[in-house]
Amino acid sequence: MEGKNWTAVVEFVLLGLAGHLHQKITIFFLLLSVYLITLGSNLGMITLIWLDPRLHSPMYFFLSHLSFVDVCSSSSVTPKTLCQIFAEKKSISFVGCAAQLWFLGLFVAMECFLLAAMAYDRYTAVCKPLLYTLIMSPRVCVQLVMGSYAIGFTSTMTHTVLTFSLPFCGPNTINHFFCDISPLLSLACVDTRINNLVLFVLSGAIVVLSGGIIVVSYVCIIVAVLKIQTAHGRWKVFSTCSSHLATVSIMYGTLFFTYVLPSSGSSLSINKVISVFYTMVIPGLNPLIYSLRNKEVKEAFKRKVERKCFLVGG
């Protein structure tokens, strides 16, 4: 770059999701509805877990933090996206872009390790029921959650600092609806092989470590289930893990298609759709999955509704 005139980028322009007015209107109301469902369902789940003593267990402790992470991850992308749908210039400041990348990276990494902690909790409950309360003590649960925060913080801080330490001298147009790391690196004026290597190593470590914990936990659970003689007993164990398995499958499936499969110019629109799914849709699906497939959550919700109706009627 020596001897060349260049101007530092102070903002980025996001191409967004749609171009025609009817598309913008449809997408706006669709994303707004999804965001309101995400806020309502996750905040409702947190409130229900906090108010109902019967849900004060390790599994629901992790679930309350998962709901908190879902609210935060969706809020780091969706409000800005909604504001820019009808904007003439879909710009985001340099600092705003860095903040969006930092928060989204933090909460995605945290969600991976919270899901791993929940898998370990299910393994302990199924495979070591007599030692469950000893192993999954309140102190251990807090340590697992704080560890998820610490790993997410370290990972996203590394990516954000390395990415925004690079010189950006134009063009400044990002073919996306939020500040994602891969399209940002493609705009840098210098060689980004080191950044891509760090991204690969850290992201791979997060996926392998959290995914490995989940896989090993469920292998042990499956072995334990196969030893159960009755079909009713097997179904009971499976029902306690089905909600978590559904959440894990959706989360890791979308991340795999977004960051592992090779992308091309023809697949940019598909990547955007997948990104909408994991940044906006999945955060709203998680509490719905747990509320629809979890008997304890449904019973707790029913008790609160009946109690409220009784108080209003009285």
DSSP secondary structure letter of residue 175? S
DSSP secondary structure letter of residue 8? -
User: Is it true that the peptide bond before 262 is cis, omega within 30 degrees of 0?
Assistant: no
pLDDT score of 248: 85
Decide if 86 is inside a domain: yes
Decide if 196 is inside a domain: yes
Using the structure block, give the residue that is written with the tokens 């709203």: 284
Into how many domains does the chain fold?
1
For residue 31, what are the contacts with CB-CB under 8 A and spacing of at least 6?
Answer: 78, 81, 82, 85, 276, 280
Decide if 5 is inside a domain: no
Decide if 3 is inside a domain: no
pLDDT score of 246: 81
**CA–CA gap between residue 302 and residue 189 (Å, rounded):** 58
3-state secondary structure 224-283: HHHCCCCHHHHHHHHHHHHHHHHHHHHHHHHHHHHHHCCCCHHHHHHHHHHHHHHHHHHH
Decide if 117 is inside a domain: yes
Decide if 223 is inside a domain: yes
Whether 73 contacts 107, CB under 8 Å: yes
- Read off φ and ψ for residue 85, nearest 5 degrees: -60, -40
Of the CA atoms within 13 Å of residue 225, those in its CB half-sphere come to: 18
For the record, the structure tokens of 204 come out as 């791979």
Mean pLDDT, contiguous 10-residue spans, the chain (314 residues): 56 79 87 93 89 85 92 92 84 90 92 92 90 93 94 92 86 85 86 87 87 92 84 75 81 71 54 80 82 65 61 53
Whether 175 contacts 125, CB under 8 Å: no
For the record, the structure tokens of 305 come out as 């509704």
Helix/strand/coil for 12? strand
Domain of residue 242 covers 11-313
Decide if 21 is inside a domain: yes
pLDDT score of 311: 54
Residue 255 amino acid letter: L
For the record, the structure tokens of 303 come out as 């008790």
For the record, the structure tokens of 126 come out as 């199924």
Decide if 124 is inside a domain: yes
Distances (CA, A) of 57 to 27, 51, 294: 39, 13, 14
Distances (CA, A) of 287 to 64, 219, 238: 9, 25, 19
- Roughly how many angstroms between the first and final C-alpha of the chain, as a whole number? 76
CATH number for position 40: 1.20.1070.10
Judged by phi (left if over 0) then psi (alpha if -120 to 50, else beta), residue 210 lies in alpha
Helix/strand/coil for 136? coil
